Amino acid sequence: MNKLPQDFYQSDDVVDISRKLLGKKLCTFYEGQLTSGIIIETEAYSGRNDKACHAHANHKTPRNRIMFSEGGHAYVYLCYGIHHLFNVVANTEGNADAVLVRALQPVDGLEIMKKRRNDISNIHRLCAGPGMLSQALNIGMQHYGLTLWSDQIWIEDVGVAVPDDQIVAKPRIGVDYAGEDALLPWRFYIAHSPFVSHK
DNA sequence: CTAACGATTCGCT
DNA sequence: GCGAATCGTTAGT
Protein backbone atom coordinates (compact mmCIF):
# COMPACT_ATOMS: atom_id res chain seq x y z
CA MET A 1 0.00 0.00 0.00
CA ASN A 2 1.50 3.29 -1.15
CA LYS A 3 -0.91 6.16 -0.55
CA LEU A 4 -0.23 9.38 -2.41
CA PRO A 5 1.35 12.02 -0.12
CA GLN A 6 -0.36 15.32 0.51
CA ASP A 7 2.08 17.28 -1.63
CA PHE A 8 0.90 15.36 -4.70
CA TYR A 9 -2.33 17.35 -4.43
CA GLN A 10 -0.87 20.77 -3.71
CA SER A 11 0.39 21.78 -7.14
CA ASP A 12 -1.25 24.91 -8.54
CA ASP A 13 -1.66 23.14 -11.92
CA VAL A 14 -4.92 21.24 -11.58
CA VAL A 15 -4.75 20.11 -15.21
CA ASP A 16 -1.44 18.40 -14.49
CA ILE A 17 -2.84 16.74 -11.36
CA SER A 18 -5.83 15.61 -13.39
CA ARG A 19 -3.52 13.86 -15.88
CA LYS A 20 -1.31 12.39 -13.16
CA LEU A 21 -4.29 10.83 -11.38
CA LEU A 22 -4.80 8.52 -14.38
CA GLY A 23 -3.42 5.08 -13.47
CA LYS A 24 -3.70 5.68 -9.71
CA LYS A 25 -6.00 3.47 -7.61
CA LEU A 26 -9.04 4.89 -5.78
CA CYS A 27 -10.07 2.75 -2.79
CA THR A 28 -12.81 2.70 -0.18
CA PHE A 29 -13.18 0.51 2.90
CA TYR A 30 -16.66 0.04 4.34
CA GLU A 31 -18.01 -2.59 6.74
CA GLY A 32 -14.91 -4.74 6.31
CA GLN A 33 -15.06 -4.62 2.53
CA LEU A 34 -12.32 -3.22 0.29
CA THR A 35 -13.44 -1.92 -3.08
CA SER A 36 -11.25 -0.14 -5.61
CA GLY A 37 -10.42 0.68 -9.21
CA ILE A 38 -7.75 2.23 -11.40
CA ILE A 39 -8.60 5.81 -12.38
CA ILE A 40 -9.26 5.82 -16.13
CA GLU A 41 -10.95 9.18 -16.66
CA THR A 42 -10.80 12.59 -14.93
CA GLU A 43 -11.84 16.21 -15.43
CA ALA A 44 -10.10 19.33 -14.13
CA TYR A 45 -12.00 22.28 -12.61
CA SER A 46 -10.41 25.58 -11.65
CA GLY A 47 -11.94 28.01 -9.18
CA ARG A 48 -10.13 31.01 -10.56
CA ASN A 49 -11.30 31.38 -14.18
CA ASP A 50 -13.44 28.40 -15.05
CA LYS A 51 -17.20 29.01 -15.33
CA ALA A 52 -17.90 25.27 -15.16
CA CYS A 53 -16.42 25.08 -11.65
CA HIS A 54 -18.67 25.18 -8.59
CA ALA A 55 -16.20 27.64 -7.09
CA HIS A 56 -16.13 29.84 -10.19
CA ALA A 57 -14.59 33.27 -9.46
CA ASN A 58 -13.68 31.93 -6.02
CA HIS A 59 -17.29 32.06 -4.95
CA LYS A 60 -17.63 30.15 -1.69
CA THR A 61 -20.89 28.45 -0.68
CA PRO A 62 -21.78 25.95 2.06
CA ARG A 63 -21.61 23.12 -0.48
CA ASN A 64 -18.22 23.90 -2.04
CA ARG A 65 -16.39 25.21 1.01
CA ILE A 66 -14.06 22.17 1.13
CA MET A 67 -12.70 23.13 -2.31
CA PHE A 68 -11.04 26.09 -0.60
CA SER A 69 -9.10 23.87 1.78
CA GLU A 70 -5.58 22.59 1.06
CA GLY A 71 -5.30 19.87 -1.60
CA GLY A 72 -5.92 16.24 -0.69
CA HIS A 73 -9.46 16.40 0.67
CA ALA A 74 -12.56 14.73 -0.78
CA TYR A 75 -15.29 16.92 -2.25
CA VAL A 76 -18.52 14.96 -2.65
CA TYR A 77 -21.85 16.43 -3.72
CA LEU A 78 -25.28 15.26 -4.81
CA CYS A 79 -26.13 15.74 -8.48
CA TYR A 80 -29.64 15.56 -9.96
CA GLY A 81 -30.89 14.55 -6.53
CA ILE A 82 -29.70 11.01 -7.19
CA HIS A 83 -25.97 10.66 -7.80
CA HIS A 84 -23.00 11.39 -5.57
CA LEU A 85 -20.03 12.78 -7.50
CA PHE A 86 -16.52 12.42 -6.12
CA ASN A 87 -13.82 15.08 -6.54
CA VAL A 88 -10.21 15.41 -5.44
CA VAL A 89 -9.49 18.86 -3.97
CA ALA A 90 -6.29 20.34 -5.39
CA ASN A 91 -3.96 23.31 -4.85
CA THR A 92 -3.27 25.16 -1.60
CA GLU A 93 -5.66 26.70 0.90
CA GLY A 94 -7.76 29.47 -0.65
CA ASN A 95 -7.28 28.20 -4.23
CA ALA A 96 -10.41 26.23 -5.08
CA ASP A 97 -9.35 23.65 -7.68
CA ALA A 98 -10.69 20.11 -8.00
CA VAL A 99 -10.53 16.98 -10.15
CA LEU A 100 -13.71 15.04 -10.88
CA VAL A 101 -13.08 11.29 -11.14
CA ARG A 102 -15.32 10.01 -13.95
CA ALA A 103 -14.41 6.35 -14.51
CA LEU A 104 -12.51 3.42 -12.98
CA GLN A 105 -11.24 0.05 -14.08
CA PRO A 106 -12.57 -2.13 -11.25
CA VAL A 107 -9.90 -4.01 -9.23
CA ASP A 108 -10.81 -5.08 -5.67
CA GLY A 109 -14.20 -6.25 -4.41
CA LEU A 110 -15.74 -6.97 -7.81
CA GLU A 111 -18.68 -8.98 -6.47
CA ILE A 112 -19.50 -6.37 -3.81
CA MET A 113 -19.42 -3.60 -6.38
CA LYS A 114 -21.63 -5.53 -8.77
CA LYS A 115 -24.15 -6.09 -5.99
CA ARG A 116 -24.18 -2.38 -5.12
CA ARG A 117 -24.76 -1.66 -8.79
CA ASN A 118 -27.92 -3.73 -8.96
CA ASP A 119 -26.08 -6.87 -10.16
CA ILE A 120 -24.88 -5.28 -13.38
CA SER A 121 -23.23 -7.89 -15.61
CA ASN A 122 -21.15 -5.73 -17.95
CA ILE A 123 -17.85 -5.12 -16.14
CA HIS A 124 -17.04 -2.28 -18.52
CA ARG A 125 -20.11 -0.40 -17.27
CA LEU A 126 -19.53 -1.06 -13.56
CA CYS A 127 -17.65 2.21 -12.90
CA ALA A 128 -18.08 4.00 -16.26
CA GLY A 129 -19.37 7.34 -14.97
CA PRO A 130 -19.03 9.53 -11.87
CA GLY A 131 -22.36 8.43 -10.41
CA MET A 132 -21.71 4.78 -11.19
CA LEU A 133 -18.30 4.62 -9.52
CA SER A 134 -19.63 6.32 -6.40
CA GLN A 135 -22.38 3.73 -6.14
CA ALA A 136 -19.91 0.87 -6.72
CA LEU A 137 -17.45 2.14 -4.08
CA ASN A 138 -20.23 3.32 -1.77
CA ILE A 139 -18.98 6.91 -1.87
CA GLY A 140 -21.39 9.37 -0.27
CA MET A 141 -21.61 12.48 1.86
CA GLN A 142 -19.96 10.59 4.73
CA HIS A 143 -16.72 11.09 2.80
CA TYR A 144 -17.10 14.86 2.43
CA GLY A 145 -13.95 16.57 3.67
CA LEU A 146 -11.99 13.42 4.50
CA THR A 147 -8.31 13.36 3.55
CA LEU A 148 -7.35 11.01 0.73
CA TRP A 149 -5.00 9.07 2.98
CA SER A 150 -7.74 8.22 5.50
CA ASP A 151 -8.86 4.69 6.38
CA GLN A 152 -12.25 5.03 4.67
CA ILE A 153 -11.21 6.49 1.31
CA TRP A 154 -7.78 6.93 -0.22
CA ILE A 155 -5.75 7.00 -3.44
CA GLU A 156 -2.71 4.74 -4.02
CA ASP A 157 0.20 4.78 -6.42
CA VAL A 158 0.30 1.21 -7.74
CA GLY A 159 3.24 1.77 -10.09
CA VAL A 160 1.14 2.20 -13.20
CA ALA A 161 2.72 4.78 -15.52
CA VAL A 162 0.47 6.21 -18.21
CA PRO A 163 2.61 7.67 -21.03
CA ASP A 164 1.60 11.10 -22.31
CA ASP A 165 0.79 9.74 -25.75
CA GLN A 166 -1.75 7.40 -24.16
CA ILE A 167 -3.73 10.29 -22.61
CA VAL A 168 -6.62 11.70 -24.63
CA ALA A 169 -7.74 15.30 -23.90
CA LYS A 170 -11.29 16.34 -24.79
CA PRO A 171 -13.89 18.92 -23.68
CA ARG A 172 -15.65 18.10 -20.42
CA ILE A 173 -19.03 16.38 -20.25
CA GLY A 174 -22.25 18.07 -19.20
CA VAL A 175 -20.92 21.62 -18.79
CA ASP A 176 -22.62 23.36 -21.73
CA TYR A 177 -23.84 26.05 -19.33
CA ALA A 178 -20.23 27.26 -18.98
CA GLY A 179 -20.12 29.07 -22.35
CA GLU A 180 -16.64 29.26 -23.86
CA ASP A 181 -15.15 27.39 -20.90
CA ALA A 182 -17.13 24.33 -21.98
CA LEU A 183 -14.66 24.06 -24.85
CA LEU A 184 -11.56 23.70 -22.68
CA PRO A 185 -9.94 20.27 -23.27
CA TRP A 186 -9.88 19.39 -19.59
CA ARG A 187 -11.34 15.90 -19.73
CA PHE A 188 -8.65 13.23 -19.74
CA TYR A 189 -8.85 9.49 -20.27
CA ILE A 190 -6.59 6.57 -21.09
CA ALA A 191 -6.67 5.88 -24.84
CA HIS A 192 -8.55 2.76 -25.96
CA SER A 193 -9.69 1.86 -22.44
CA PRO A 194 -13.03 0.00 -22.48
CA PHE A 195 -13.83 1.45 -19.03
CA VAL A 196 -14.25 5.08 -20.15
CA SER A 197 -17.67 6.74 -19.64
CA HIS A 198 -19.80 7.79 -22.56
CA LYS A 199 -22.76 10.10 -22.90
C1' DC B 1 -39.82 31.39 1.34
C1' DT B 2 -39.97 30.01 -3.45
C1' DA B 3 -38.55 28.18 -7.69
C1' DA B 4 -35.26 26.66 -11.11
C1' DC B 5 -31.76 23.56 -12.06
C1' DG B 6 -28.06 20.43 -12.27
C1' DA B 7 -19.97 18.06 -13.31
C1' DT B 8 -26.19 11.79 -14.41
C1' DT B 9 -28.21 7.35 -15.19
C1' DC B 10 -31.58 4.11 -16.68
C1' DG B 11 -35.32 2.31 -19.20
C1' DC B 12 -38.08 2.44 -23.10
C1' DT B 13 -38.74 3.40 -28.16
C1' DG C 1 -31.96 8.61 -29.18
C1' DC C 2 -35.13 10.63 -25.70
C1' DG C 3 -37.25 11.78 -21.42
C1' DA C 4 -38.21 10.88 -16.54
C1' DA C 5 -36.47 10.45 -11.93
C1' DT C 6 -35.46 13.20 -7.75
C1' DC C 7 -33.86 16.58 -4.10
C1' DG C 8 -30.23 19.60 -2.17
C1' DT C 9 -28.24 23.94 -3.36
C1' DT C 10 -28.48 28.43 -4.88
C1' DA C 11 -30.01 32.95 -5.92
C1' DG C 12 -33.64 35.92 -5.91
C1' DT C 13 -38.12 37.79 -3.84
Residue A198 has pLDDT above 90, yes or no: no
Task: Verify if strand C has an atom below 7 Å from the CB of A163.
Answer: no
pLDDT tens sequence across A58-83: 999 999 999 999 999 999 999 999 99
Per-position b or e across A80-110, b if 16+ CB within 10 A of its CB: eeeebbbbbbbbeeebbbbbbbbbbbbbbbe
Distance A81 CA to B11 C1' (A): 18
Pair A39, A19: CB distance under 8 Å: no
Distance A125 CA to C1 C1' (A): 19
Task: Verify if strand C has an atom below 7 Å from the CB of A54.
Answer: yes
pLDDT at position A107 is 98
pLDDT at position A122 is 97
Task: Verify if strand C has an atom below 7 Å from the CB of A79.
Answer: no
* Residue at the smallest CA–C1' distance to nucleotide B9: A131
Task: Verify if strand B has an atom below 7 Å from the CB of A129.
Answer: yes
| pTM tops 0.95 | yes
Residue A199 has pLDDT above 80, yes or no: no
DSSP string across A64-114:
TGGGGS-SSBEEEEEETTTEEEEEEEESSTT--EEEEEEEEEE-S-HHHHH
Q: Which nucleotide is nearest to A132 (CA to C1')?
A: B9
